[in-house]
Amino acid sequence: MNSRFKIAILGFGLEGKSVMKYLKSNSEYQNCEIMALDKKFSPDYLKNLKQFNIIFRSPGLPYLTKEIQSAKNAGVKITSATKLFFDKCPCPIIGITGSKGKGTTATLLSKMLKTRWGDNIFLIGNIGLPALKILPKLKKNSLVIFELSSFQLQDLRKSPNLSIVLDITPEHQDHHQTFKEYADAKSSISRFQTKNDITVFSRNNPWPKKIAAQGNGRKIGFSLKDKKILLSKIKKIIPLPGRHNLQNAYAATIAAKTLKIPEQKILREIKNFKGLPYRLELIHKSPNIYNDSASTNPEAVIAGIKATNPTILIMGGKNKKLSYKNLRKAVLVSPIKKIYLYGDNKNELKNTVGKNKNITVKILPTLSGAVKILKKEISKNDTALFSPGAASFDQFKNYEERGRKFNQLLNNYIK
């Protein structure tokens, strides 16, 4: 590429910075003009995109953004760190997608596969490292487990060698125009598979099967209704609460079995798995208090309620244009007696989830206020669940920061 070749990196967070570092260190791009564009640098950062030859789009910026599509139609190549990684990766890739459970499934599977691949296995995604940071370390005998979101998959034109599709439920409706667009965006995880590839998919709802059907790979469906001896064994030993965690473990098990990992080693990893931070993490006993800050949609809250049977629910955050009708039904048949709501969507939640004369609902401006009320009102026999059911960006940088803040506040107020 010559010196007149112009490259833009749209979004300069962790992934954008990893793209910049990769391009700067790669001789193929050393003579190019590379610019980082981000709204924190300028509110007009999406203007004049047609001047570039290549644009690297960060996951947080919708693929269908008008300015991006206009640049694409003008002949600008739109790519991403994920697309570059798939083009350059020298080893097999296992991809995992779904509305929830990707991180837990990916982490557990990596532990199962370490028995065969050892230090040659690499975990990429929200719970791992940026893809391009890992790329220089990979060899032909390495193995990558990639946690893939709809944002990363939407314009991908390659599929992993082994794909896992967990349940698909409404999510990111502030980013995708419709639920169908969101579900279709995930289809790239199977669409370009060959007959030598495999898709493991959930049979709990129709979308994973539809996604699996789009490729030519071998299909393996799974459900917690399966009459399998191995599933019965998992049920007896899994330490994590909730049917959703059982499903995550079962999906990881099926994937590991296709890669010839012995059953004994698979079950050992499940038995010893402690889960991930901020995913139904029990952080206080008697009273029991769970931190589920990774919960960013109503389905995750429903799963948390079923797993922990709380008497107190704390939730709220950034509005993502999701429906909370099913959550309201779950609350009605739960032991919940008190709900503390905070954040950007607190009033919306009050008018849906909080519509129940048998439940006391309190509106707080911040998470700190909610934890203060919790301290005053919780008793030894209560179970409190912090499961926001919404994005964190109204008050926090990400769900990890939100989870840490909850733990900090809890330590301050409840001894």
**Under 8 Å between Cβ of 328 and 137:** no
Helix ranges, 122-273 (H) = 131-134, 150-153, 179-185, 188-191, 206-212, 229-237, 243-258, 263-272
For residue 375, give Cα distances in angstroms to 284, 352, 370, 404. Answer: 12, 25, 9, 17
Answer yes or no: is 99 a known binding residue: yes
**CA dihedral of 283, 289, 293, 298, whole degrees rounded to 10:** 150
Q: Which DSSP helix (H) or strand (E) runs through 97?
A: strand 93-97
Answer yes or no: is 103 a known binding residue: yes
Answer yes or no: is 104 a known binding residue: yes
Amino acid identity for residue 317 in this structure: G
Cis peptide before 241 (omega within 30 of 0): no
> Which residues contact residue 351 at a Cβ distance below 8 angstroms, ignoring those fewer than 6 apart?
none
Answer yes or no: is 100 a known binding residue: yes
Cα 127 to Cα 102: distance, rounded to the nearest angstrom: 9
For the beta carbon of residue 325, count every other beta carbon within 10 angstroms: 10
- What are the beta bridge partners of residue 163? 95, 199
- What are the beta bridge partners of residue 202? 222
Provide the 8-state DSSP code for 241. -
For residue 165, give Cα distances in angstroms to 96, 98, 115. Answer: 6, 6, 23
- Backbone φ/ψ region at 11: left (φ over 0), alpha (ψ -120 to 50), beta: left
37 phi and psi angles, rounded to 5 deg? -115, 130
- Backbone φ/ψ region at 389: left (φ over 0), alpha (ψ -120 to 50), beta: left
Binding residues: 98-104
Binding residues for ATP: 98-104
